Chain A
Amino acid sequence: MFKRTGFIFNADDCINCKACEISCKNENQTPMNIQWRTVKKVAPELYLSLSCNHCDSPECFRVCPERAFIKRKDGIVQIDENLCTGCQLCVSACPYQAPQFNPETRKVSKCQMCYPRQDIGMVPACVEACTTGALNLVDLNTFEDEQTVRNLPGFSDVTVTNPSIIFYPLKPRKRYFLQ
């Protein structure tokens, strides 16, 4: 059976350094307001680095009248900007704000999981940039770890689109605040 490439994000290790976010811009030279990956603080101490989740049931793909999206056999959901007419149905269909509309070109773009890099055996730019190792790739068809969960607070509902991302949650810690 094929791979199902997805992201694995360790919230316990992420330090919100944004190297992943900016390295994506460096790699893809996306314009100023187009963020294929964003690191957000979603709760005290909880940061999520999110991009397109290359869902198993991509809503973007289902609703696109131009069929600009394709789902590759390794799981990557790709958009062909040339086919995009800028109707933005995918933008409202995606629960994760992944597709980004560029008002200047009137086209939508999104994280392509660095398929040109993956095709030559490299990891995505954001994964390479993550100095703490919080962001990684896995094959969700074979990956198993009891400690992972499919959802964390601050992440949209995983039903319907079935995103290809899995998380390690925060671990409890000991703290002594000032008396």
Chain B
Amino acid sequence: MKDGVYRNTCPRNCFGTCGILSYVKNGRLMKVTGDPKHGYTKGRLCAKGYASTQFVYNTQRLKYPMIQSPRGSGNWKRISWDEAYSIIAGKIIELNQRFGSNLASGYNKFSGNLGFLHYAVEGMFNSFGPHTKPVGNPCALTGKLAVNQAFGHNFSSNPEDMADTNLIVIWGANPAVTNVHQMKFIYEARRSGAKFIVIDPIFTRTAEKADVYIQINPGTDAWLAFGIAKILIEKGIDDEESIREQTIGWDQYKHFIHHQIDLSDVSKRTGVPTEAMEVLAEFYGNLKPAVTWNGLGIQRNDRGSHSISAINSLAAMTGILSNPNSGLYYMHFDIEHFPQLLLNHQGPVHPNITKSRDIDISNYSKNALALTEPPLKFLWVASRNIITQDQNLKSWHQLFNQLELIVTVDLYLTKTAKHSDIVLPAASHFEEEDLNVGYWHYWLSINQKSIPPYYEAKSDLQIARELTKKLNELSPGFSNFPFEKEPIDWIKEELTPEIMRQYSLTSYEDLLEGPHKKIEIAHSMPDSEKFRLLPSKETVTEQLQSENLKKPLTYRLLTPQTLLKIHSQYELVPWLNQEQTEDIIELSSTAAIQHEIDENTKIEIYNQHGFIIGTAKINPTLPNQVVLASQAGNNPINQLITQTDDKGANGSSTFFYDSMVNIRKWREKNV
């Protein structure tokens, strides 16, 4: 690599997808800055981004492929890449011969790196023919479906436009922690007079900054939206005729609101005083253009989809359909407009198996265990740390016992890697080429290879190329992966003429000069389709019922992201770990009094699935029935989280926020 400044893109599962400039000298990353040509991040990074040099040059990073025997013993031995490939290819081929297909081989990969070329994992498995693969998006699917349902297409407004609005209402999102770059647009709007409202059960950092903060009982957002709609309808809607025309089900909606919503009842359910509802209705009614932001938190419980629908309906009623400058925010899925050639790579046809076996990723281990003929025997883990991140941990351990080979590709020896047979050192995004597009903003950017790989680290694509080559050596024609293609070839092929037009590119080289923004961003006003208002009678009844479910334990466990880590990704970067944030369990003053718990004492939260121990912190602004614990740490809280098995599990997000726990003081003997 030549000395100089390179363009990188942060590939993390984060709203920023920031443009990075990397300063390289003698093949070493000296420092990073934000890319000033990126119109959303505007030359800034977050704290994690600024810690890049430590992320790359970290003595804890994996240097070589390693094998451990027996699994979990910690008895690691360095092996060559060729040895690793031989063992892995040997196992895949052996399983194929044993079961007559590749269904016994599967992978689990999610959002560790969102770059286009990281679909090499999918591409590689596709190239074997039918296999076992994860489907679904544990994080955002419920909301996606709800938005789709209302608009007939996926849609989220242009984030930069938030600066030009007069009202910003955030339902259950915490950009001050999870989407820091958005704050400047919010402040810009506020400086020119906009009002900024946050509705959230937790008094978050964002809530602290809001002009008006409204605390709400978790999971009752739909009710608040109905309540506000009621006040507005009661006062009379100005352009009711045009709303009736632009929507489906207006009269039904109005009727429902009118007859079944009672403000004092709403107030009781949500915990929101009617005065606050009046204030919010007043703003929604008078401040135009207005934007509404559905946070991911809203949909992380079993009533999420209704909440989002109810909020969208309120937004539809208050201007997003008529005022082109108003907006509705969730997240977008524009990546789906690209060919995604690696993801969609077509493998060889199997004589009698038509397609791969799907496992719902929201409940991977349980579903995988249920598979027979053949059972899952080989698991490839990439871009993901199952043990801290996934739920249903008990079944994971069961699954591990059944697996004959587990391979983990990662930068660090994560908890998951420690349970594997083979670990393969992954390249950081500074050591590989890639292409990235945001899911919040609309910028497309390149990721250059700016430094040589750390020791023997390799990118997912490089591993796919080399492993498939090895497979074909051992068993000719096993894989049809085009291993001769270089990263740059894949990148160029993603940039179809239509994509180039959308992002005003004349050639791939344009991206080396800076990120490009999509020129036409989907509009909130559906052109031909009408906005489908909710609720229909059925969903409302369903909603009312689901709320009657009595939970056996007393506290709802909420697990939001902490500032300096994305899930478990930055746990090992020392710059970011100077404060002790781990193992903190926040509880309300009422709960503390009830359980006689003092600040900074050890407590235990538990349910039927397990328990974790942490340090109590009393948070006087927390709702009484909520406890808060951060993700990752030494005592992974997902031990306590299980997927509610039944309804809606297919095609919905993981309901991380639905776990109920109890609290007790920690005593040695409890352990």
- Are A and B direct contacts in the complex by CB distance below 8 Å? yes
Q: Mark B215-227, 1 if CB is under 8 A from A, else 0.
A: 1110000000000
Q: Which among A22, A25, A176 is the interface contact of B276 at CB below 8 angstroms?
A: A176
- For window 68-93 of A, CB contacts with B under 8 Å fall at none
Q: Are B31 and A178 in contact (CB under 8 A)?
A: no
Q: Are A19 and B46 in contact (CB under 8 A)?
A: yes
Which listed segment binds B: A98-106, A126-134, A141-149, A158-166? A126-134
Q: Are A32 and B575 in contact (CB under 8 A)?
A: yes
Q: Does B342 contact A (CB under 8 A)?
A: no
Chain A residues with CB under 8 A of B564: 18
Q: Does A23 contact B (CB under 8 A)?
A: yes
Secondary structure class of chain A's binding surface, majority of residues: loop
Q: Mark A21-42, 1 if CB is under 8 A from B, else 0.
A: 1110111010011010000000
Q: Does B522 contact A (CB under 8 A)?
A: no
Query: A71: shortest Cβ distance to chain B, in Å?
Result: 28
Q: Does B209 contact A (CB under 8 A)?
A: yes
Query: A84: shortest Cβ distance to chain B, in Å?
Result: 24
Chain A residues with CB under 8 A of B52: 26
Which residues of A approach B to under 8 Å, CB–CB? Answer: 12-13, 15-19, 21-23, 25-27, 29, 32-33, 35, 45, 125, 128-133, 173-179
Q: How far is the CA of A26 from the CA of B575 in the complex (A)?
A: 10
- For window 328-371 of B, CB contacts with A under 8 Å fall at none
Chain B residues with CB under 8 A of A17: 46-47, 176-177, 180, 563
Q: Are A13 and B187 in contact (CB under 8 A)?
A: yes
Q: Are A133 and B187 in contact (CB under 8 A)?
A: yes
Q: Does B45 contact A (CB under 8 A)?
A: yes
Q: Does B574 contact A (CB under 8 A)?
A: yes
Number of B interface residues in the complex (CB < 8 A): 53
Which residues of B approach A to under 8 Å, CB–CB? Answer: 30-34, 41-48, 50-53, 176-177, 180-181, 183-184, 187, 203, 205-206, 208-217, 267, 271-273, 275-276, 279, 563-564, 574-576, 578, 621, 623-624
Q: Are A175 and B212 in contact (CB under 8 A)?
A: yes
Query: B472: shortest Cβ distance to chain A, in Å?
Result: 44
Q: How far is the CA of A15 from the CA of B205 in the complex (A)?
A: 6
Q: Which among B32, B181, B213 is the interface contact of A131 at CB below 8 angstroms?
A: B181
Q: Which among B43, B183, B184, B575 is the interface contact of A25 at CB below 8 angstroms?
A: B575
Q: Which among A22, A132, A133, A173 is the interface contact of B213 at CB below 8 angstroms?
A: A173
Chain B residues with CB under 8 A of A33: 578
Chain A residues with CB under 8 A of B621: 177
Q: Are B45 and A25 in contact (CB under 8 A)?
A: no
Q: Are A176 and B214 in contact (CB under 8 A)?
A: yes
Chain A residues with CB under 8 A of B50: 19, 22-23, 25-26, 129
Chain B residues with CB under 8 A of A19: 44-47, 50, 180
Given A173-B212, A176-B215, also A131-B44 (CB < 8 A): yes
Q: How far is the CA of A156 from the CA of B305 in the complex (A)?
A: 50
Chain B residues with CB under 8 A of A177: 203, 215, 621
Query: A141: shortest Cβ distance to chain B, in Å?
Result: 26
Q: Which among A26, A133, A178 is the interface contact of B217 at CB below 8 angstroms?
A: A178
Chain A residues with CB under 8 A of B44: 19, 128-131
Q: Are B212 and A174 in contact (CB under 8 A)?
A: yes
Query: B53: shortest Cβ distance to chain A, in Å?
Result: 6
Chain A residues with CB under 8 A of B575: 22, 25, 32
Chain A residues with CB under 8 A of B184: 131-133
Chain A residues with CB under 8 A of B206: 15
Q: Which of B214, B216, B575 has the most CB of A within 10 A?
A: B575
A-B contact pairs, 20 of them (CB 8 A): A15-B205, A15-B209, A17-B47, A22-B50, A26-B32, A29-B30, A32-B575, A45-B208, A130-B44, A131-B46, A131-B180, A133-B187, A173-B213, A176-B215, A176-B272, A176-B273, A177-B215, A178-B215, A178-B271, A179-B267
Given A22-B576, A32-B575, A133-B184, also A176-B53 (CB < 8 A): no
Q: How far is the CA of A60 from the CA of B468 in the complex (A)?
A: 63
Q: Are A176 and B213 in contact (CB under 8 A)?
A: yes
Query: A132: shortest Cβ distance to chain B, in Å?
Result: 5
Query: B589: shortest Cβ distance to chain A, in Å?
Result: 12
Q: How far is the CA of A39 from the CA of B662 in the complex (A)?
A: 34
Query: B494: shortest Cβ distance to chain A, in Å?
Result: 29
Query: B162: shortest Cβ distance to chain A, in Å?
Result: 14
Chain B residues with CB under 8 A of A22: 47-48, 50-51, 575-576
Chain A residues with CB under 8 A of B42: 131
Given A173-B210, A179-B267, also A32-B574 (CB < 8 A): yes
Q: How far is the CA of A45 from the CA of B315 in the complex (A)?
A: 30
The closest CB in chain A to the CB of B196 belongs to A173
Q: Are B53 and A29 in contact (CB under 8 A)?
A: yes
Chain A residues with CB under 8 A of B210: 173
The closest CB in chain B to the CB of A27 belongs to B31
Q: Are B183 and A21 in contact (CB under 8 A)?
A: no
Query: B637: shortest Cβ distance to chain A, in Å?
Result: 23
Given A16-B205, A17-B563, A131-B184, also A174-B213 (CB < 8 A): yes
Chain A residues with CB under 8 A of B183: 15, 131-132
Q: How far is the CA of A13 from the CA of B187 in the complex (A)?
A: 8
Chain A residues with CB under 8 A of B177: 15, 17
Q: How far is the CA of A128 from the CA of B36 in the complex (A)?
A: 10
Chain A residues with CB under 8 A of B276: 176
Query: B626: shortest Cβ distance to chain A, in Å?
Result: 10
Chain A residues with CB under 8 A of B217: 178
Chain B residues with CB under 8 A of A174: 211-213, 279
Chain B residues with CB under 8 A of A18: 47, 563-564
Query: B27: shortest Cβ distance to chain A, in Å?
Result: 16
Q: How far is the CA of A128 from the CA of B33 in the complex (A)?
A: 9
Query: B354: shortest Cβ distance to chain A, in Å?
Result: 50
Q: How far is the CA of A17 from the CA of B211 in the complex (A)?
A: 20
Query: B180: shortest Cβ distance to chain A, in Å?
Result: 5
Chain A residues with CB under 8 A of B215: 175-178
Query: B191: shortest Cβ distance to chain A, in Å?
Result: 10
The closest CB in chain A to the CB of B32 belongs to A26
Q: How far is the CA of A21 from the CA of B51 in the complex (A)?
A: 10
Q: Are B271 and A179 in contact (CB under 8 A)?
A: yes
The closest CB in chain B to the CB of A26 belongs to B50
Q: How far is the CA of A141 from the CA of B623 in the complex (A)?
A: 48
Q: How far is the CA of A174 from the CA of B283 in the complex (A)?
A: 14
Q: How far is the CA of A174 from the CA of B621 in the complex (A)?
A: 14
Q: How far is the CA of A125 from the CA of B32 in the complex (A)?
A: 11
Chain B residues with CB under 8 A of A130: 44
Query: A119: shortest Cβ distance to chain B, in Å?
Result: 18
Chain A residues with CB under 8 A of B176: 15-17
The closest CB in chain B to the CB of A175 belongs to B213
Q: How far is the CA of A129 from the CA of B21 in the complex (A)?
A: 13
Q: Which among A12, A21, A32 is the interface contact of B47 at CB below 8 angstroms?
A: A21
Q: A19-B180, A26-B31 are in contact. List 8 more A-B contacts (CB 8 A).
A: A13-B209, A17-B46, A17-B47, A17-B563, A19-B44, A26-B52, A176-B272, A176-B276
Q: Are B180 and A15 in contact (CB under 8 A)?
A: yes
